[in-house]
Amino acid sequence: MKLPLFPLPICLLPEGFTQLRIFEPRYKRLVAESLKSAQGFGLCMLEQQSNLIQPIGTLAHIIDFETLADGMLGILVQGIQRFELKQFVSESDGLKYGEVTLLDNWPRAPITPNDRYLSDMLHTIFSQYPKHLQHYQKQQFNDIAWVCQRWLEILPIAPTDKYACINTQDHLIARDFLRAILNKP
């Protein structure tokens, strides 16, 4: 599968949402092509210090768009499915296109009593931002894989730490990492 790529120093995972401000011509083209094809685009984490594009990314679809107060384009995107970036090329305007292979998303898993605090804390944080919370359903907070992905999206931790968790086939490494940094056994 060939996708236009949007490398950013943020993390978006399947079933997550994020808002992006679009101002560069190459990314305006990415938005136009993504809407026209209905295929979406690849959002890849960018390691800012090295400018390295991480090879595990997320297929994203544009859910909504608007003209922002400053005249820029704002888009709301949802993560759909993980992928592995095999190779990419840069076009003359700098827009990157990558050959990707879709990967299975993390399997769902019920919250255990030991991990309930991860879900409860996340729900408390999201409740402070009702506009953000509206995108999620209450039952999703009962899925530890989903909860771990949302934590990875919002925590201000190094992209390399996030990537070590993302580059796995399930939530277990992410859960253990979250337990360690949130000081819970």
pLDDT at 96 over 80: yes
Asked whether the beta carbons of 138 and 23 are under 8 A apart, the reply is no
Q: What was the pLDDT predicted at 185? A: 53
Say how far apart CA 13 and CA 59 lie, in whole Å: 9
Query: pLDDT by residue (tens digit) across 112-143?
Result: 999 999 999 999 998 888 777 777 888 899 99
pLDDT at 184 exceeding the cut of 70:
no
What Rg value do the Cα atoms of the chain yield, rounded?
17
Answer whether 0.85 is exceeded by the pTM: yes
Report the C-alpha gap between 82 and 80 in whole angstroms: 7
pLDDT of residue 164: 93
- Residue 81 confidence (pLDDT): 97
Helices (H), 38-143: 116-127, 130-133
Cβ atoms 35, 62 nearer than 8 A: yes
pLDDT digits (tens, 9 = 90+) for 138-167: 889 999 999 999 999 999 998 889 999 999
User: Residue for token digits 């083209």?
Assistant: 29
How wide is the angle at C-alpha 144 spanned by C-alphas 155 and 103, nearest 5°? 85
What does the block give as tokens for 38?
Answer: 């209905």
Query: 7-57, pLDDT tens digit by residue?
Result: 999 999 999 999 999 999 999 999 999 999 999 999 999 887 788 899 999
pLDDT digits (tens, 9 = 90+) for 60-93: 999 999 999 998 999 999 999 999 999 999 999 9
| 72 residue type, one letter | M
Determine the Cα–Cα distance for residues 116 and 143; give it in Å rounded to an integer.
10
| Residue 124: count of CB within 10 angstroms of its CB | 9
